[in-house]
Amino acid sequence: MARLGPNRYGKAEVRVVRVARAAHPGGGDVIRDWNVSTSLSGDLDAASLAGDNSHVLPTDSQKNRVYALARELGPVAPEAFGLRLASFFVTSQEPITRARVSVEEYGWSPIGATGHSFARSGDLVRTTTVVLDAERGASVVSGVRDLVVLNTTGSEFWGYPKDEYTTLPETKDRVLATAVDARWRYRPAALGADTAHDRDTAHDPDTAHDRDTSHDWDTAFAAAKAALLAAFSGTYSYSLQQTLYAMGTRVLADVPAACEVRLALPNRHHYLVDLTPFGLGNPNEVYNAGDRPYGLIEGHVLADDAPEEGLAWT
Amino acid sequence: MARLGPNRYGKAEVRVVRVARAAHPGGGDVIRDWNVSTSLSGDLDAASLAGDNSHVLPTDSQKNRVYALARELGPVAPEAFGLRLASFFVTSQEPITRARVSVEEYGWSPIGATGHSFARSGDLVRTTTVVLDAERGASVVSGVRDLVVLNTTGSEFWGYPKDEYTTLPETKDRVLATAVDARWRYRPAALGADTAHDRDTAHDPDTAHDRDTSHDWDTAFAAAKAALLAAFSGTYSYSLQQTLYAMGTRVLADVPAACEVRLALPNRHHYLVDLTPFGLGNPNEVYNAGDRPYGLIEGHVLADDAPEEGLAWT
Amino acid sequence: MARLGPNRYGKAEVRVVRVARAAHPGGGDVIRDWNVSTSLSGDLDAASLAGDNSHVLPTDSQKNRVYALARELGPVAPEAFGLRLASFFVTSQEPITRARVSVEEYGWSPIGATGHSFARSGDLVRTTTVVLDAERGASVVSGVRDLVVLNTTGSEFWGYPKDEYTTLPETKDRVLATAVDARWRYRPAALGADTAHDRDTAHDPDTAHDRDTSHDWDTAFAAAKAALLAAFSGTYSYSLQQTLYAMGTRVLADVPAACEVRLALPNRHHYLVDLTPFGLGNPNEVYNAGDRPYGLIEGHVLADDAPEEGLAWT
Amino acid sequence: MARLGPNRYGKAEVRVVRVARAAHPGGGDVIRDWNVSTSLSGDLDAASLAGDNSHVLPTDSQKNRVYALARELGPVAPEAFGLRLASFFVTSQEPITRARVSVEEYGWSPIGATGHSFARSGDLVRTTTVVLDAERGASVVSGVRDLVVLNTTGSEFWGYPKDEYTTLPETKDRVLATAVDARWRYRPAALGADTAHDRDTAHDPDTAHDRDTSHDWDTAFAAAKAALLAAFSGTYSYSLQQTLYAMGTRVLADVPAACEVRLALPNRHHYLVDLTPFGLGNPNEVYNAGDRPYGLIEGHVLADDAPEEGLAWT
């Protein structure tokens, strides 16, 4: 006999572009460009076992709530949005005891000084995932992906074990490149007022814009990104593992609200091309940028006083 | 202060095509077309903390082992390959206490009767992930992804809660479509002799071809795929959750060696197009196949006697 | 000073799934799963030069027509659909003198015998492009893409010039693999009655299903696909160029209605892995399937009596 | 009977990363990150017709030449590289009478002030295609793709014809967004000394770095990009066609060396979300960013004195 285990459902990849007219301090428009995914769990087994949908708020309704909340909240940080959205589902739907909201944010840079023209930045995707459980509270994990970085020097790789399948030569100078996928977990204290339930004010979009949030998520994101870049750039590296650890510790140092960082760093191999058959040397100048295979280094870095992770990474 | 948490590293996406000449019962060639990823963990912290690579078997060596093992083992099932490869790393490298091997397999169908011409099937990707821990033993999770299925009828959706953001009309007849992402965990007993260490025979490829394996992985895969299709096709559905549960239970029923199934089913919405502005009815004939957003239903189904999952899903 | 040159506009990637209930001879449903793109040209310069849209039928209207026509015509071949759609735009919009319609078709295979359950085939994408010009008439180019094929033997490559940058060794036995991108142009005579203007019958979907078409496009497509496979499989190859030519001539031989074939064949290199460092030979058994770079062979094959191509390839 | 028509072959997607140490005026490294494709044509029919490869310089040799030339030329503009590479093939291989070289360039921005750390820009891909024919000379078409831009206002769409399939409401204020795909053809005079044959200097990489080129390709690219952005941002638009024309004319005005611009602009529809069911207005604030379908506007803009295009766009 079989039984149903953990299950959840929601709407994935709701594309929301929120324009806030003249909301920039300089007078121009502000854009929040998001891809929002929701996932709900709770007392839902009857849907799977008996086709009884009486507890299944349609994913279409979840999508509608995303758009309406974007209107209500204005151009807030994705973390603040996720907390409010998750809170809405858990508060308003009796059977729903847990909500997970993920947001991808795409950046835009102004074109000229019109205030209403923008070009997509394309240098990275900002991410956040909020999990809110009725009993266990809220967590926020934010991050970045597709941030591609490269050092033209300052990287070595040697001193490794050589088994019977090892043919790789050691190197004292190589290109080191990766596409940073980093996520950092915020301390519960950082969430503060954003976790307060807010249904009473939800329909007053004109005042929602300027309400304070408990944490300056945008500033924290900028600091984390800067920390990742600085550590990648500033670490003389004997392995990508070492660089990963340096990036994680730097984020923890520069973003006090963060207590844990998880990184997955593909080693985007740049193979020095052998030009000797053509009568040419290659003093670390010409590389073949390989696609596959690639090394993949994964690691967690935690603050010594990091609280329990709870449901943050689920 | 920060500390290093769990970490692992390996080579991702090693593309191996193994041709076994005249190995088919009908006389033709047999192809195994794989994308192999390895990931090792153990006593590796010095690499991250001190740039000391003395325990870090290069990912390039891991890649080499993949190719050599493909030569040695012949066109075995990916599960058998993963078990042997994981065993090699844990056995041969003192600091490595755990290995994870993932394989994607792409299918090929014969063209005509030459025995050496093939067309890529494209209907799905077969997957497997083996985790082998020196202390906790081995696990195998196999699966399928990108198996796109559609029912033109036999699906309803109604009886759900209507909150203030619900505008979706109920329906008694809709198209139901999804791209099946299913993984099933095998019982430890199914792994049998494949987990035996085999270094002594490793370099005798000519005899390796015909060694018995403990389990007929290919037959089990075919049964699981057939079960998924039969359950999708045969379930009159009141929700995709219900279909998911039927698919999971069917796999458990038809593949006794499997003890747990995890499914992630995107609801590929097919929107009935409103043709009334053009003087036309639309009796469930013309649909707009939406890309985003999509519902996403995730669930686990377990055999009542499923053993502990251990490290299987890590 | 600048001037406006050729220009066109339309709606790209309209996703249409047309279900015809019980339309299969065996009693089951028939599915046409399409991605339709339209492009119109004619007396449109005022839009570009002066922002005058009085001749610009909205792309949204074009999309609507796609859906309505799918309802009217039933599960016809994409070529027949494209001809009717193009004819509609040129006939009904005075300023529009030319229409281009492209359709991608995705195949589905029945699951079991229910008649309403299907799995996406995934082995290829069927394509067609119709160009209809008010003065110069209609053309139809159909094709296939993403048809991945592989010969495990029967391919050589040698006798090529060796310049100072040539390091490639000659081979008398290699794997040959490609993803077939082939398009064939139909003779005008094949278009026949499908080009007749049909506005009078357009709103009678119940009778439209069973109207004759001038050409059995589905049969022709099946024959062309079979010809491509047979020629790829049956050609002992000294270069992918030779295989390309064999494929083109075979299509022309087996599909009399076709007068020209254009092929683009990426050479999906399968590199024999050197296993000698590991004490193993590799008698054409283990390959690394490369992604990039790849050879790319392009060529046209024409029937000796091929009529002028006109606008077919524009 | 069938005959062979036009054909060509080459190596596609050769990934080259060229690092020039301390070549930046500020002292840091310079990176050129390219994806290079070659395509040769000439007296090649015997390969297709008879499997005779005596005129077929291997695509592997072409790839090798790409890497060697990158070493020789240093971090030159992709246009200069393409001209030199095409010239090499046509000059050195008797049967080759025409060469086509395409380069995609990915941008990198410095991280900090180390001079050797970079982050990939991601805002666009720079492109160039050189065609060099032994008889008809050289042409250069450069461009940009994936440059995503958006105006939050300053766009209307009305005054269009309404047929029986038109349901789109007119609008006096909409978001206008597109992913710019633009290519501009350079006047022959711009190619100047870059087309000179250069085999005598080819093997002296140490002097090749500082040779003059006939045209400052990088400056022209920057001017064209700036023109596209300025025209997109600065045009009050009644249709994307109008914006396209403004962008083309602006490039011609600001880049005198360019004589023709071809643009393909997908209309990335941002649908204003109807929030009235939820008791909310939506004063142009919340949009659903659609994926498919999308409008697609294509057009050419030519200088009045544009010379014949020759083989530039083939």
Q: Do B167 and D277 touch (CB under 8 A)?
A: yes
Paired sense of beta strands A176-186 and A258-267, if any = antiparallel
Nearest CA to B164 out of A58, C174, C104 is that of A58
Which residue in this structure is represented by tokens 């985003």? Answer: B292
Q: How far is D277 from chain B (nearest CA, A)?
A: 8
Q: Do C286 and B71 touch (CB under 8 A)?
A: yes
Nearest CA to A263 out of A145, A125, A101 is that of A145
Q: Do A165 and C292 touch (CB under 8 A)?
A: no
Q: Do A238 and B58 touch (CB under 8 A)?
A: no
The pLDDT tens digits of the residues spanning A304-314 come to 999 999 999 99
Q: Do D116 and A287 touch (CB under 8 A)?
A: no
Nearest CA to D156 out of D167, D169, D147, D141 is that of D169
The C residues from 174 to 193 touching B (CB cutoff 8 Å) are: 175
The C residues from 229 to 268 touching B (CB cutoff 8 Å) are: 229-230, 232-234
Active site members of B: 11, 59, 269
Please list every residue in chain A whose beta carbon sits closer than 8 Å to the beta carbon of residue D149: 111, 117-120
Q: Is C106 on the interface with D (CB under 8 A)?
A: no
Q: Is D114 on the interface with A (CB under 8 A)?
A: yes
Q: Is B171 on the interface with C (CB under 8 A)?
A: no
What is the structure's pLDDT at C203? 41
What is the structure's pLDDT at C303? 98
Chains in contact with C via at least 3 Cβ–Cβ pairs below 8 Å: A, B, D
Q: Is A34 on the interface with D (CB under 8 A)?
A: no
Please list every residue in chain A whose beta carbon sits closer than 8 Å to the beta carbon of residue D228: none
Q: Do C2 and D53 touch (CB under 8 A)?
A: no
ipTM of the complex: 0.93
pLDDT reading at D179 higher than 50:
yes
Q: Which of the pair, C26 or D8, is modelled with greater confidence?
A: D8
Please list every residue in chain C whose beta carbon sits closer than 8 Å to the beta carbon of residue A279: 164
Chains in contact with A via at least 3 Cβ–Cβ pairs below 8 Å: B, C, D
CB neighbour list of residue B226: distance below 8 Å, 6 or more residues apart = B254
What is the structure's pLDDT at C194? 59
Q: Is A197 on the interface with D (CB under 8 A)?
A: no
Q: Is A59 assigned a catalytic role?
A: yes
The A residues from 55 to 74 touching D (CB cutoff 8 Å) are: 64, 67-68, 70-72
What is the structure's pLDDT at D206? 46
Interface test with D, best of B269, B273, B278, B287 (most D CBs within 10 A): B278
Q: Do A288 and D18 touch (CB under 8 A)?
A: no
The pLDDT tens digits of the residues spanning C237-277 come to 999 999 999 999 999 999 999 999 999 999 999 999 999 99
The pLDDT tens digits of the residues spanning C108-165 come to 999 999 999 999 999 999 999 999 999 999 999 999 999 999 999 999 999 999 999 9
Nearest to B278 among D164, D277, D292 (CB): D164
**For chain A, what is the radius of gyration of the CA atoms?**
23
Q: What residue type is assigned to position B96 of the chain?
A: I
Residue in D closest to C8 by C-alpha: D298
**Quick check: A46 and A55 in contact, CB under 8 A?**
yes
Q: Do C175 and B17 touch (CB under 8 A)?
A: yes
Q: How confident is the model at residue C107 (pLDDT cuts 50, 70, 90)?
A: very high
What is the structure's pLDDT at D193? 56
Q: Which of the pair, D190 or D59, is modelled with greater confidence?
A: D59
What is the Cα–Cα distance from D299 to D313, expressed in whole angstroms?
A: 14
What is the Cα–Cα distance from C255 to D32, expressed in whole angstroms?
A: 48
Q: Is C3 on the interface with A (CB under 8 A)?
A: no
Please list every residue in chain B whose beta carbon sits closer than 8 Å to the beta carbon of residue A37: 293, 296
CA atoms within 13 A on the CB side of D115: 10
Q: Is A272 on the interface with B (CB under 8 A)?
A: no
Interface test with A, best of B48, B270, B292 (most A CBs within 10 A): B48
Q: Do D229 and A111 touch (CB under 8 A)?
A: yes
Q: Which of the pair, C202 or A46, is modelled with greater confidence?
A: A46
Q: Do D116 and A154 touch (CB under 8 A)?
A: yes
Interface test with A, best of B60, B66, B84, B255 (most A CBs within 10 A): B60
Active site members of D: 11, 59, 269
Q: Which of the pair, B278 or C211, is modelled with greater confidence?
A: B278
Q: Do B241 and A44 touch (CB under 8 A)?
A: yes
Q: Which of C11, C63, C225, C270 is catalytic?
A: C11
Compute how many other C-beta atoms are within 10 angstroms of the C-beta atom of residue B189. 12
Q: Is C200 on the interface with D (CB under 8 A)?
A: no
Q: How confident is the model at residue D194 (pLDDT cuts 50, 70, 90)?
A: low
pLDDT reading at D186 higher than 80:
yes
What is the Cα–Cα distance from B7 to B4, expressed in whole angstroms?
A: 8
Q: Do D29 and A152 touch (CB under 8 A)?
A: yes
Q: pTM for the full model?
A: 0.95
What is the structure's pLDDT at B193? 56
DSSP letters, chain C, are -EEEEEEEEEEE-EEEEEEETT-STTSS-EEEEEEEEEEEEES-HHHHHH---TT---HHHHHHHHHHHHHHH-S--HHHHHHHHHHHHHHH-TTEEEEEEEEEEEEEEE-TTSSSEEEEEEEEEEEEEEEEETTTEEEEEEEEEEEEEEESSSB-B------TT--PPPBSS--EEEEEEEEEEEPHHHHGGGGS--GGGTT-HHHHTT---SS-HHHHHHHHHHHHHHHHHH--BSSHHHHHHHHHHHHHHH-TTEEEEEEEEEE--EEEP--GGGT---SS-EEEE--SSEEEEEEEEEETTPPP-TTTT-
Is the bond preceding B293 in cis, omega lying within 30 degrees of 0?
Answer: yes
The A residues from 278 to 297 touching D (CB cutoff 8 Å) are: 278-280, 282-291
Please list every residue in chain B whose beta carbon sits closer than 8 Å to the beta carbon of residue A159: 52-54
pLDDT per residue of chain B (314 residues) written in tens, 0 to 9 = 899 999 999 999 999 999 999 999 989 999 999 999 999 999 999 999 999 999 999 999 999 999 999 999 999 999 999 999 999 999 999 999 999 999 999 999 999 999 999 999 999 999 999 999 999 999 999 999 999 999 999 999 999 999 999 999 999 999 999 999 999 999 998 887 555 444 334 444 444 444 445 469 999 999 999 999 999 999 999 999 999 999 999 999 999 999 999 999 999 999 999 999 999 999 999 999 999 999 999 999 999 999 999 999 99
Nearest to A291 among C277, C279, C291 (CB): C291
The pLDDT tens digits of the residues spanning A233-263 come to 999 999 999 999 999 999 999 999 999 999 9
| Mean pLDDT along residues D288-303 | 98
Q: Do C165 and D65 touch (CB under 8 A)?
A: yes
The pLDDT tens digits of the residues spanning A106-135 come to 999 999 999 999 999 999 999 999 999 999
What is the structure's pLDDT at A195? 55
- Residue C302: φ, ψ to 5°: -125, 145
Q: How far is C278 from chain A (nearest CA, A)?
A: 6
Please list every residue in chain A whose beta carbon sits closer than 8 Å to the beta carbon of residue C278: 164-165
Nearest to B168 among A2, A10, A58 (CB): A58
CB neighbour list of residue B177: distance below 8 Å, 6 or more residues apart = B148, B149, B150, B151, B267, B268, B270, B289
What is the structure's pLDDT at C193? 56
What is the structure's pLDDT at C192? 73
Instruction: A45-50: list long-range contacts, CB under 8 Å, 24+ apart.
Output: A45/A4, A45/A7, A47/B238, A47/B239, A47/B241, A47/B242, A48/A4, A48/A7, A48/B239, A48/B241, A48/B242, A48/B244, A48/B245, A48/B299, A49/A4, A49/B242, A49/B245, A50/B242
Q: Do D148 and A122 touch (CB under 8 A)?
A: yes
Q: Is A55 assigned a catalytic role?
A: no
Q: How confident is the model at residue A192 (pLDDT cuts 50, 70, 90)?
A: confident
The pLDDT tens digits of the residues spanning A44-77 come to 999 999 999 999 999 999 999 999 999 999 999 9
Q: Do C167 and A277 touch (CB under 8 A)?
A: yes
